[in-house]
Structure 1
């Protein structure tokens, strides 16, 4: 039995994915993908699975995400799933399909929110100075 581990990050979310031989079952944080809510998150996570086609019917995918918000977690899971499927199959054609569809499927987005600074309500905004 072959097992492939993959991980990815997005903002402050971290995702780990395990891919192994199976019947096409997909679990996200212990929940089957078919019943995952909201629908936007489900559709985002399904992108690399749909692009992989029939290959996914022979494997089981178990994904876990921690930190961040639901969209950040979905993006991290999506990237980790794409990497795991690619490592599992070793298919160069699939890699081309992923990169042509969206480069973020395989390459992490390094952007992080800038920390808040003193004397302001956010990272860049400061209290206005008045001379009169």
Structure 2
């Protein structure tokens, strides 16, 4: 059985494919062990810290990520992987364990950056003025 899921964070979009396998996890066609920086790799592998080790050995996961920065991509991939595992196993206890651990494993973060406005260099900052 093949399961397709997705995750988002800011402008990063991750699509994960979960299938029966031997425990291979690939991010953009490269093994997850080659992912840099290490903090991003640990974030992507976080869904496996909550579940038992046997689950990781039973599935192959292919993740395609585009857009955003390094940590945004890691957050998106983490959500896609966790959703894929829940959907693949069809296990309510796993879903509840993820929700108790961290809700953002299964629910996308809906926050977006505020648009830039006139009168300043950014969304909120204004140009300085001097009276002398």
| TM-score band w.r.t. shorter chain | over 0.9
Structure 2: which 5+ residue stretches go unaligned?
A: none
Shift of 1:55: 1.1
* Alignment of structure 1 residues 29-68 onto 2, 5 Å: 29-53=28-52, 54-68=54-68
Shift of 1:50: 2.4
- CA deviations 1:27-58 (Å, max 9, x no partner) are 01111012211110110001002222211211
RMSD across aligned positions (CA): 1.2
Cα distance in 2 for residues equivalent to 1:103 and 1:94: 12
- CA deviations 1:46-73 (Å, max 9, x no partner) are 1002222211211100001100000000
Residue 115 (structure 1) aligns with: 115
Residue 127 (structure 2) aligns with: 127
Query: Structure 1 residue runs of 4+, over 2 Å off?
Result: 127-132
- CA deviations 1:76-126 (Å, max 9, x no partner) are 000000000000001111111101110000011100111111220110112
How many residues are treated as equivalent by the alignment? 131
Cα distance in 1 for residues equivalent to 2:19 and 2:95: 19
Shift of 1:129: 4.9
Structure 1: which 5+ residue stretches go unaligned?
A: none
Name whichever of 121-130 and 94-103 sits farther off.
121-130
